[in-house]
A and B are shown apart, each in its own frame.
Chain A
Amino acid sequence: SQQGEEDPQALSIQEGENATMNCSYKTSINNLQWYRQNSGRGLVHLILIRSNEREKHSGRLRVTLDTSKKSSSLLITASRAADTASYFCALRPANNLFFGTGTRLTVIP
């Protein structure tokens, strides 16, 4: 399968806590991307990490990539209620993106 698998499927935390989501995959990739989807909306690109990169930051987001373990993690620091959404990893082995099933994050105010 060329899709990633997110873990956990659902996560509930208190506002201010950190949230960590993981993505495991089986194929070789050119890059891995993380997207967010608010309920009833389209997906929004958050961050892209290339296969030769190990860590990347964007604001409160930190993404790591371990190509030897074929895994990635997304860390959201100091979470806010507005971070409540589903988060998807997307693999790019070639010309397409393959999306996982997502992690549903709920941040409780």
Chain B
Amino acid sequence: DAGVIQSPRHEVTEMGQEVTLRCKPISGHNSLFWYRQTMMRGLELLIYFNNNVPIDDSGMPEDRFSAKMPNASFSTLKIQPSEPRDSAVYFCASSPGGDETQYFGPGTRLLVL
């Protein structure tokens, strides 16, 4: 099992640019979560999907952030336009359901200059 796959692993961009982060969950998992981790705020849940449907996006910071899950094997998190305060590590996690143990990807380290 390949685990949760995220790409890119590192992204450096300039303020104002569009950033797209990608995630492939573990096959058969029906829940997918996007988190952001910073030193100041810790690990924050941005949005989660159940069976490809967004369930709770209350953690999305503002309209510059959007997430999609067009099918069970792919999700994107987009930031447009990006700002320096968006610099963080973004994690995707998936879960098979039930007790909701989550399996995390390796993360995307984003730096917005």
Contact = CB atoms under 8 A, between A and B. Distances in A.
Interface of A: 3, 31, 33, 35, 41-45, 48, 50, 88, 92, 95-102
Contacts of B48: 95-96
B39 to A, nearest CB: 10
A9 to B, nearest CB: 11
10 contacts: A42-B4, A42-B91, A42-B105, A43-B43, A45-B101, A95-B56, A96-B56, A97-B100, A97-B102, A99-B42
Contact of A41 (B43, B45, B56, B106): B106
Interface of B: 4, 33, 42-43, 45, 48, 50, 55-56, 91, 93, 99-107
A40 to B, nearest CB: 8
Given A95-B55, A98-B45, A45 B100 contact: no
A102 to B, nearest CB: 7
A43 B91 contact: yes
Contacts, number: 46
Contact of A88 (B4, B43, B45): B43
Nearest to B9: A40
A63 to B, nearest CB: 14
A76 to B, nearest CB: 19
A101 B106 CA distance: 19
A65 to B, nearest CB: 14
B99 to A, nearest CB: 6
Interface centre among A31, A43, A98, A99 (most CB of B within 10 A): A43
Contacts of A44: 104
